[in-house]
Structure 1
Amino acid sequence: MKRLLIAAGGGGDAIATAMVHAALHGPDEPALVLTYAWERLVVDPVPGPRRPSDFTGTLPAGPTLRLVTPESAPRPPAGSLLPRLAAGLRPTLGLLDPYDGAVGLAHQIAEAAAYCGATRVDVVDVGGDILADGTEPTLRSPLGDALVLAACARAALPTAVHVAGPGLDSEVPEAALLPLLGDPLRALTHADTLPVQAVFDWHPSEAGALLVAAARGIRGVCGTRDAPRPVTLGAASANVYRLTLERALEINPLARALAGSTSLAEAERASEQICGFSEIARERARAARLGRETGGSAVGRAGRSGQPSPAERFARWERGTARRGIAYVTTRRIAEELALDPVELAELRDHLRTASPLRHTPPLWRLVTAEG
């Protein structure tokens, strides 16, 4: 017997789902976490979600459901951190394939329930865009979450929806979410982060990192890479809230519209009608733009001769960032804004940890300047 959970928003939500599961049920409780292989272009340069045929080494758990293992690997040119997550997280990971819409996902959820011997489903979303109404100007990625809600309704298993860290994904503001959420189910603590703490040494999830930071008691203004404004970690940031599936569907019009969808293209069209955009189309445009800017390849160390060291570049960047009132930043923001390759990033991390230990507040970095 395993508990069945669904990470509603992708690879980063799988980490938070493992943490929420451990907090609610204990780290040793067997569980299967279903998750999309739908990752940022910095990880996967191919727009949109991956499907089982995009991987080698997955294990069948039903006619359409596949499990991701540490031995699994994405087929180039696709990329994915799920195999590495499968090695770093205690729950088993199963791959959600949305290409047959909510109807196909419902079949996969039913297969997963049979595989686990589970009679109910727990959905986990970091940030709360699973409760978007489609009008939010900061909304960026509603489709995966909405498909999960629609599929759970179609699978007809008792389902609870958990929102962890309202507002931490910078999509639906915390102030808009809190009236919808009611009283918190639980506040995550430092101890709850221990099962996932090592993952953030290499995984770029920002919402997940902010949730872990909040659970560890970090409070203040945090700068992330893909957000119109900084996130403030406050009193509600470490909380987990529980809603019924029916209530989540009542709030989310896109999920209701996807109830009978049989393809991802159909789901995209529904997102365009209700939210005004398709996030996959945005990914395609961004991938094309990045390809033009880089000539199809990332800038490596060979192109940096004569430039200041990563530590020198960071010091200059840190002063300007701190002046904007930002107290903490994610590793991903440092890496992308300084255009650091993996070797340079590792060099900078080692430097910051040894030269100024106060900067390292895992999984974030505290900005420290001469001005205070």
Structure 2
Amino acid sequence: MKRLLIAAGGGGDAIATAMVHAALHGPDEPALVLTYAWERLVVDPVPGPRRPSDFTGTVTAGPTLRLVTPRSAPRPPAGSLLPRLSADLRPALGLLDPYAGASGLARQIEEAAAYCEAGHVDVVDVGGDILADGTEPTLRSPLGDALVLAACARTGIPTSVHVVGPGLDSEVPEAALLPLLGDPLHTLTHADTLSVQAVFDWHPSEAGALLVAAARGIRGVCGTRDAPHPVTLGDASPHVYRLTLARALEINPLARALAESASLADAERASERVCGFSEIARERARAAQLGQEAGESPGGGTAPSEPRPLPRALPRPLPRPLPRPLPRPLPERFAEWERRTADSGIAYVTTRRIAEELALSPAQLTALRRHLSTATPARHTPPLWRLAAVEA
């Protein structure tokens, strides 16, 4: 027998779900975490979620349910961190495929319950957008969470909904969530993070990193890359809250609208009606923009360059080019960036924000991490980085 849990939002929610499971039931209790392979363009250049046919090496656990293992791999051009994540997390990982809407997800959850011999489902969401009403101006990715709620309701299996780290995903503000959540079920501690501590050396999840930092006692304003405004880690940030499935459905109108959805296209249309947008359509537009910036033609591949006309006469000799200035040392570039960031009131930053705003290659990021950890050991407060202004 295994406990059955669902990481409602996919991506980094699987990490938080493993941590919540370890905190509530012990890290050694067998468990299966169902999660989407929906890891956004930072990991996967193909818009939307991946399905089992997008992977090799999955394990069959039911007619429609597949498990992701360290031997699994995404089929190019798709990308996914789930195979590597399955090696670092103790619970097994099962793949949620939303392409048949809530009805298809319900079948997968029922198969997972039979596989685990589980009579109960625990849904876990980092941040709280699973309780979004669809009108929040900062809402970006409500669809996966709402589909999970709708699918769980279709199964009839008793289900609890856990919200952890309210507001940490920058989608629904903490102040709007706390009146809906009641008293916390559990407060995560440093000990609860030990089972996932190595994951953030390589995984880009920012909400998950903030949750781990909060559990380790870090408090203050944190700057992330994937959010319009900084996040403040406060006393509620490491809390785990539990709601009934009925209460979550009562709050979430998109989940109710998805009850009869039989395809992902149905789900997109429901999101457009309730929330005014489709996050998958936004991903398609962003992927197309990135492709154009990289020089791809609309039909794929690299856009051909225009042929240059032959010169009418021999060109005049070009002036000798001025020597290019030597690139500044990486620590110097970081120090300048750090001063600007700290001046905006930010005390901590994620690794992803450093890497993306400084446009660092993996080798450069490794070198910078080594420099900051050895030259100023107090700067690294895993999995975040403390800016110099905090040290004064």
Q: Does 1:343 align with 2:358?
A: no
Q: Does 1:19 align with 2:19?
A: yes
Provide the C-alpha distance between the structure 1 equivalents of 2:83 and 2:221, rounded to a whole number of angstroms.
32
Return closer, same or farther for 1:345/1:294 CA change in 2, 3 Å cut-off. Answer: farther
**Matching residue of 1:301:** none
**Matching residue of 1:57:** 57
Q: Does 1:334 align with 2:354?
A: yes
**Matching residue of 1:30:** 30
Runs of 5+ consecutive residues of structure 1 not aligned to the other structure: 298-303
Structure 1 position 311, deviation (Å): 2.2
**Matching residue of 1:92:** 92
Q: Does 1:317 align with 2:351?
A: no
**Matching residue of 2:268:** 268
**Matching residue of 1:200:** 200
State which drifts further: 280-289 or 56-65.
Answer: 280-289
| TM value normalised by structure 1 | 0.96
AA aligned to 2:337 is: W
Provide the C-alpha distance between the structure 2 equivalents of 1:80 and 1:270, rounded to a whole number of angstroms.
27
Runs of 5+ consecutive residues of structure 2 not aligned to the other structure: 302-323
Structure 1 position 369, deviation (Å): 4.3
**Matching residue of 1:6:** 6
SS in 2 for 1:42: helix
**What does the per-residue CA deviation read over 1:245-272, in whole Å, with 9 as the maximum and x for residues that have no partner?**
0000000000000001000011001001
Provide the C-alpha distance between the structure 2 equivalents of 1:189 and 1:357, rounded to a whole number of angstroms.
22
Provide the C-alpha distance between the structure 2 equivalents of 1:30 and 1:311, rounded to a whole number of angstroms.
45
Structure 1 position 312, deviation (Å): 2.2
**Matching residue of 2:372:** 352
Provide the C-alpha distance between the structure 2 equivalents of 1:293 and 1:108, rounded to a whole number of angstroms.
39
Structure 1 position 340, deviation (Å): 1.1
Provide the C-alpha distance between the structure 2 equivalents of 1:368 and 1:14, rounded to a whole number of angstroms.
32
Structure 1 position 316, deviation (Å): 1.0
AA aligned to 1:313 is: R
| Percent identity of paired positions between Structure 1 and Structure 2 | 84
**Matching residue of 1:80:** 80
Provide the C-alpha distance between the structure 2 equivalents of 1:309 and 1:170, rounded to a whole number of angstroms.
33
AA aligned to 2:328 is: P
Provide the C-alpha distance between the structure 2 equivalents of 1:69 and 1:97, rounded to a whole number of angstroms.
16
SS in 1 for 2:157: coil
**What does the per-residue CA deviation read over 1:281-301, in whole Å, with 9 as the maximum and x for residues that have no partner?**
11111111222223369xxxx
Which entry has the higher C-alpha Rg, 1 or 2?
2
**Matching residue of 2:225:** 225
Structure 1 position 35, deviation (Å): 0.1
Is residue 347–residue 390 contact of structure 2 (8 Å, CA) maintained in 1? no
Return closer, same or farther for 1:306/1:283 CA change in 2, 3 Å cut-off. Answer: farther
SS in 1 for 2:43: coil
Provide the C-alpha distance between the structure 1 equivalents of 2:292 and 2:330, rounded to a whole number of angstroms.
25
Q: Does 1:115 align with 2:108?
A: no
Provide the C-alpha distance between the structure 1 equivalents of 2:325 and 2:164, rounded to a whole number of angstroms.
44
Structure 1 position 356, deviation (Å): 1.0
**Matching residue of 1:300:** none
Structure 1 position 327, deviation (Å): 0.2
**What does the per-residue CA deviation read over 1:19-38, in whole Å, with 9 as the maximum and x for residues that have no partner?**
00000000000000000000
SS in 2 for 1:11: coil
Structure 1 position 273, deviation (Å): 0.7
Return closer, same or farther for 1:357/1:52 CA change in 2, 3 Å cut-off. Answer: same
AA aligned to 2:366 is: A
The ranges of structure 1 where at least 4 consecutive aligned residues each deviate by more than 4 angstroms after the TM superposition are none
**What does the per-residue CA deviation read over 1:40-68, in whole Å, with 9 as the maximum and x for residues that have no partner?**
21111111000000000000000000000
Provide the C-alpha distance between the structure 2 equivalents of 1:266 and 1:181, rounded to a whole number of angstroms.
30
AA aligned to 2:130 is: I
**Matching residue of 1:307:** 327
SS in 1 for 2:226: coil
Provide the C-alpha distance between the structure 2 equivalents of 1:333 and 1:87, rounded to a whole number of angstroms.
25
Provide the C-alpha distance between the structure 1 equivalents of 2:161 and 2:248, rounded to a whole number of angstroms.
7
Structure 1 position 306, deviation (Å): 4.1
Return closer, same or farther for 1:149/1:370 CA change in 2, 3 Å cut-off. Answer: closer
SS in 1 for 2:209: helix
Structure 1 position 101, deviation (Å): 0.2
Matches within 5 A, 1:293-304: 293-295=293-295
Structure 1 position 323, deviation (Å): 0.1
AA aligned to 2:126 is: V
Return closer, same or farther for 1:240/1:370 CA change in 2, 3 Å cut-off. Answer: closer
AA aligned to 2:131 is: L
Structure 1 position 308, deviation (Å): 2.3
Is residue 7–residue 33 contact of structure 2 (8 Å, CA) maintained in 1? yes
**Matching residue of 1:169:** 169
Structure 1 position 164, deviation (Å): 0.2
Provide the C-alpha distance between the structure 2 equivalents of 1:148 and 1:358, rounded to a whole number of angstroms.
41
Structure 1 position 305, deviation (Å): 9.5
Matches within 5 A, 1:118-267: 118-267=118-267
